[in-house]
Amino acid sequence: MEKASNLDSKMYVLDTNVLLHEPLAYLSFQEHDVVVPMTVLEELDHIKDRKHDVSRDARVAIRGLDEILKDASPEQMLQGVALPSNKKAKTESRGRLIIVNDHLFADSISGLPGNENDHRIINCAVHLQKQHSDSKVVLVTKDINMRLKAKGAGLKFVEDYRTDQLIDDIALLTSGYKKIEGDFWQHVGECETEQQGRDTYHHIAKSTISDVFYNEYILDSSDHFAARVKSYDDKTITLKDISVERLMNQTAWGVKPKNVYQGMALDALLDPTIELVILTGPAGCGKTLLALASALEMIIEKGIYDKVIVTRNTPEIAESIGFLPGTEEEKMAPWLAAITDTLEVLHKGDENPVSSRNYIMEKANMQFKSVNFMRGRSIQNAVVILQPRIGGILKFLPPCFYWPVEKVKRISKKIDYLSYSEQSLNNKPLLKICNLQEKYNTKPSNDSIFWEAA
């Protein structure tokens, strides 16, 4: 293998669990070299025939590696094959994909016994660190214990794989709106206005607002102006005039927004042209209540959709719920109690809230589904509410749900599925993210306070 001579160069040694977590992870290291030890290939080979989702990831990783290395000779594989161009790379230089036969290295290099695969991979990284002393050799693994052992074996740089996590802090997630200081119209020079039915559209210069994206809301300090970005190009932004008063006077299944943030969320939820709505915010800010009220309004009152599907991934202990007695609906009910509780709150004034809840669930064709069994389904004209405990769900949703997801109403703090760049996210015209911001104190014993929370 060619010895690296650039002090700024990096060599990443990938553990097996990284490729199982993200099969094409080797494309995420931009201009740096990526090393895949032979032990990793052996582990992928053993995993690929199992009857689990992880086997599919192993096969995808193997096929991807084969696509890059299929025309390479054994010597070229050891020297390194240029990685495919990556749009995320900030430079034109490309790193290499290198296959290393770690079985040839002595166990004494790291001091760890070589009969365990993890130790062989650590041994490989330590060997490369000594061989390429003028290059930064980094072991990338999702295994915490392996990271500790690698440090103890003398490896200087050990990292977790975080490339697929666009945002680690919810505060860094786009709020879905921009607030302009002062009066918005004082910042606008020339403006062309047109009327389309009951809606008013303003065409303003692109320089007026920086970094806008489709369906983003625009507010100002006057507490009167509110608009939503309908389209934009290099010169012009088209805004749909909404006004704060109009936002606050919306109603969905008897629920009115308590503040302008809930007003923006309700406006996005009730708009059929926005196919994906992501709501963030602390517990008690009304995410579930607004989502469910909007779903009932669009299905029962307006007849836009035919049914509502509520789904979430179940804990690992419940992944095999098919072996338990009862229907899928009955098995999922404990995990989706927040929906039934919210339905009772929406009908708390009825003589029998439980009977009203059951009647509405039947009338709205409400179905409780486990996301573990949603693969391959074709669901048409439905409102889909994705409940919390997301984990890897959203990473799974976009590539696997090829049916039109009309509404996804809820997202947790961790958004693994956003493996795209933030810019690519913002350019999606179907997407709307609303941060409800405010948290309300709710007491389980006081339904009226809970009602006011939304």
What is the full DSSP assignment across 190-235? Answer: S-EEEEETTEEEEEEEGGGSSS--TT-EEEETTSS-EEEEEEE-SS
Q: Pick the residue with more confidence: 279 or 331?
A: 279
Most confident of 113-122, 156-165, 397-406: 113-122
**From-to residues of CATH 3.40.50.300 in the chain:** 253-452
**From-to residues of CATH 3.40.50.1010 in the chain:** 10-159
Query: Among 56-65, 264-273, 306-315, 392-401, which is the least confidently predicted range?
Result: 392-401
Report CA dihedral (299, 305, 310, 312) to the nearest 10 degrees: -150
- 10-159 topology per CATH: Rossmann fold (3.40.50)
Above pLDDT 90, what percent of the chain? 35
The tokens for 108 are 């004494």
Report CA dihedral (206, 209, 211, 212) to the nearest 10 degrees: -80
Quick one: pLDDT band at residue 410, thresholds 50, 70, 90?
Answer: very low
Report CA dihedral (116, 122, 124, 127) to the nearest 10 degrees: -130
Burial class (CB in 10 A: 0-12, 13-18, 19+), 264: buried
At which residue do the structure tokens 């992880």 appear?
A: 54
Query: Among 108-117, 366-375, 416-425, which is the least confidently predicted range?
Result: 416-425
Query: Among 18-22, 282-286, 394-398, 427-431, which is the least confidently predicted range?
Result: 394-398
Q: What is the pLDDT of residue 401?
A: 36
Mean pLDDT of 15-20: 92
Query: Among 78-92, 263-277, 407-421, which is the least confidently predicted range?
Result: 407-421
Mean pLDDT of 246-261: 93
Cα 112 from Cα 119, distance rounded (Å)? 6
pLDDT digits (tens, 9 = 90+) for 133-187: 888 999 999 999 999 999 999 999 999 987 655 444 445 567 788 999 888 998 8
The tokens for 344 are 């009772």
Q: What is the pLDDT of residue 241?
A: 95
Q: What is the pLDDT of residue 202?
A: 95
Cα 109 from Cα 393, distance rounded (Å)? 41
pLDDT digits (tens, 9 = 90+) for 377-386: 777 888 888 8
Q: What is the pLDDT of residue 251?
A: 94
Above pLDDT 70, what percent of the chain? 74
Is 326 a residue whose pLDDT tops 80? Answer: no
Quick one: pLDDT band at residue 51, thresholds 50, 70, 90?
Answer: low
Q: What is the pLDDT of residue 368?
A: 83
Cα 390 from Cα 409, distance rounded (Å)? 12
- 253-452 topology per CATH: Rossmann fold (3.40.50)
Mean pLDDT of 275-294: 84
| pTM over 0.75, yes/no | no
Is 12 a residue whose pLDDT tops 70? Answer: yes
Q: Pick the residue with more confidence: 172 or 229?
A: 229
Q: What is the pLDDT of residue 137?
A: 94
| DSSP bridge pairs for 219 | 179, 226
E strand intervals along 88-225: 96-100, 136-140, 157-159, 177-180, 192-196, 199-205, 217-220
Q: What is the pLDDT of residue 453?
A: 28
Cα 199 from Cα 271, distance rounded (Å)? 13
- The mean pLDDT value of the chain amounts to 77
Count of beta carbons in the 10 Å neighbourhood of residue 173: 19
Cα 72 from Cα 9, distance rounded (Å)? 23
Cα 340 from Cα 359, distance rounded (Å)? 12
Q: What is the pLDDT of residue 392?
A: 37
